[in-house]
Structure 1
């Protein structure tokens, strides 16, 4: 029986703070189609969802064609913003993130993964910018899965690594992450520094306030 453990991280709002670029790109996208820009609260509320799900929530009265235009305009604006600064500056790692990833990576029976609403291209640029290309053994992106909270991303991560649900944990900042973990039969750790209020992280087994608290939270879950 395998003794491998898997820790899957969300990206935006969990490992990196990309809200500046997200808000700016949304402002550009909505301006391009002459629609009022949603509030910051509403925009950050959809972070983690795939764009084809997020845009109808932000512009419920717009047509499907307009939603597609919003998706394309957002992607283009985001790429331009990232290119102007570089991924490391436009989406900085949260304090303690790199150190915790390195700590977990050094554990012989712990595997790391990501499950993100980002595209394959977007994730690659981010990992390259932060020199994290060899950190994760499984990387699940929006291109190939239904949007969170559908469990497809986590099911694929489990399949790719051979880890069982009782030895896997999802770490994220949104209710979508917590609900995705529950749908996949996995434990969930919420983080308080992201884009959703911790009050909505009701499906989390535990919520942590810093990366320093993650090892204890993992042991709490796996020691039950």
Structure 2
């Protein structure tokens, strides 16, 4: 068998493994409307996906005063939770993860979601035991800070050159660059992949099937 290139593969969650980009965008827009802010466009709302929640909402709604942030966050969670079970993993994700596990890669999640939100989602889609580790934005620094990846690499004793980050946003790829890790972009999530080139991903996959094929051949 060909030796592994990467021991640790870290995935973003929303827009990379989980088909949630549209729901997050709508939930941000509805939350801003609820507190009387100027509703961001689809592009403005989707741009902040991957950041920690309050960082994302503040960026998407710069006219909303700080004293409204708590309510803004509450309204976002209300709208997201009301429809979270309508969304699911992208087709092909489970076989891809099973294949990577069979090849003895460590698999991790590095996400802008909260710990509670990630754990609830993992239970819902029956992924307990698939991931060896995870970091969320409310328990460490949010993207594009490299802190999530630094912590995961320390946890598994893996060097940056043996670590691969996979994500759908420039925040994910910038985090990898900041951590000294390789990255892989996917074009089917929140950000226009035209902005990926400057962040030096090894490849940009246009489907889960293409992502799976690249990982099989090159990871």
Corresponding residue to 2:50 among 48, 51, 56: 48
Task: For 2:126 and 2:76, locate their aligned partners in 1 and report how far apart those are by CA, in whole Å.
Answer: 25
Q: 1:63: how far off?
A: 1.5
Gaps of 5+ in 1: none
Moved more, 30-39 or 209-218: 209-218
Structure 1 moving runs of 4+ over 6 Å: none
- Stretches of structure 2 that go unaligned for 5 or more consecutive residues are none
Match of residue 150 from structure 2? 155
Return the match for 1:37 from 33, 36, 39: 39
Secondary structure of 2:138 counterpart: helix
Shift of residue 138, structure 1, vs aligned partner: 0.8
- Superposed CA deviations along residues 113-136 of structure 1, whole A, max 9, x for unmatched, are 000000111111111111101111
What per-residue deviation string (whole Å, max 9, x for no partner) do you get for residues 7-62 of structure 1?
10000010011123213322331232122321111111110011221122112122
Whether the 8 Å CA contact 2:29–2:45 is kept in 1: the answer is no
* Conservation of the 8 A alpha-carbon contact between 1:11 and 1:114: yes
Q: TM-score, normalised by structure 2?
A: 0.90
Instruction: Choose which of 204, 207, 211 in structure 2 pairs with 1:210.
Output: 207
- Mapping 1:183-222, distance limit 5 Å: 183-202=178-197, 203=199, 204-214=201-211, 217-218=214-215
| TM-score, length-scaled by structure 1 | 0.88
Deviations 1:173-204 (A, max 9, x none): 00000000011110000011111011111211
How many positions carry a matched residue from both structures?
214
Residue 118 of structure 2: which of 118, 123, 128 is its match? 123
1:1-224 to structure 2, matched below 5 A, reads 5-82=7-84, 86=85, 90-108=86-104, 110-202=105-197, 203=199, 204-214=201-211, 217-218=214-215
